Amino acid sequence: MAYIYMDESGDLTFNTKYWSKFFVITFLIAKSEKETEIIMKNFYKWTNWRWRTIKWAFFHSTKESNRSIKRILDLTSRRDMNIVSIIANKNNINKQYKNDVHKLYSRLAWELLQQCEKRWFLGAWKHYFVLSRKETNQNLKEKFINYLNNSHSDLLDIDISIDIPQHKKGLEIVDACSHAVFRKIENWDFELYSVIKNKIILEKQIF
């Protein structure tokens, strides 16, 4: 059994000088949900003030300090789980994909899912694939799920869901992991990346 939590960093904007240079999709692969719940439970104990936040609050790397992000990554590096990422250099993306970001998003996510299937997952395994509802890319994710269900439902044994980080703690963790990979590739900043480097089993750049 494998639980796969997905998140992305960067943007898929091509019509402004403020775009990111790269777009990253990251999977956190865990053998059970309990592993992710242990990490976040220990994190919230470490940050006692978080117990007093409102019920819908959740961890989001872009709003947190490096110290907090590093704490989650350090806890992750000690558990039995792995991280895989796919990276797109937006300067190299052709016009076809620039004009159809839904197709681009599905291509990237499907490519990463295929790499996982070929390299590490056994066909007999049951996969639980969880995407975050918090992101502005909600429409992209829904179209990707439709793409999987319509085009590849016979290839992978996957239960797919879109949920919120409050319910699926793995989504908070993969948010931090994706942020670390993005900071490394976008800004050449290895501070966060170095904490989870031992857990990254695939980091592939396409385009």
User: Which pLDDT tens digit goes with each residue over 32-86?
Assistant: 899 999 999 999 888 876 554 434 467 888 888 899 999 999 999 999 999 999 9
Return the structure tokens found at 172. Answer: 């908070």
3-state secondary structure of 163: strand
- Residue 124, domain extent: 2-206
Show Cβ contacts of residue 34 under 8 Å, excluding neighbours closer than 6 positions: none
Do residues 21 and 91 make contact, with C-beta atoms less than 8 angstroms apart?
A: yes
Distance between CA atoms of 123 and 33, rounded to whole angstroms? 20
**How many domains does one find in the chain?**
1
**DSSP string computed for 22-61:** EEEEEEEEES-HHHHHHHHHHHHHHSGGGGGS-TT----G
Helix axis angle for 169-187 and 33-46, nearest 10°, is: 80
Question: In CATH, what number is assigned to the domain containing residue 196?
Answer: 3.30.420.10
The residue that leads in pLDDT, 98 or 192, is: 192
Show Cβ contacts of residue 65 under 8 Å, excluding neighbours closer than 6 positions: none
% of the chain at pLDDT higher than 70: 81
Angle at 98 between CA 92 and CA 104, to 5 degrees: 85
Task: Answer whether residue 120 shows pLDDT above 90.
Answer: no
Q: List the single range of 16-25, 117-126, 193-202 with lowest mean pLDDT.
A: 117-126
Task: Answer whether residue 113 shows pLDDT above 90.
Answer: no
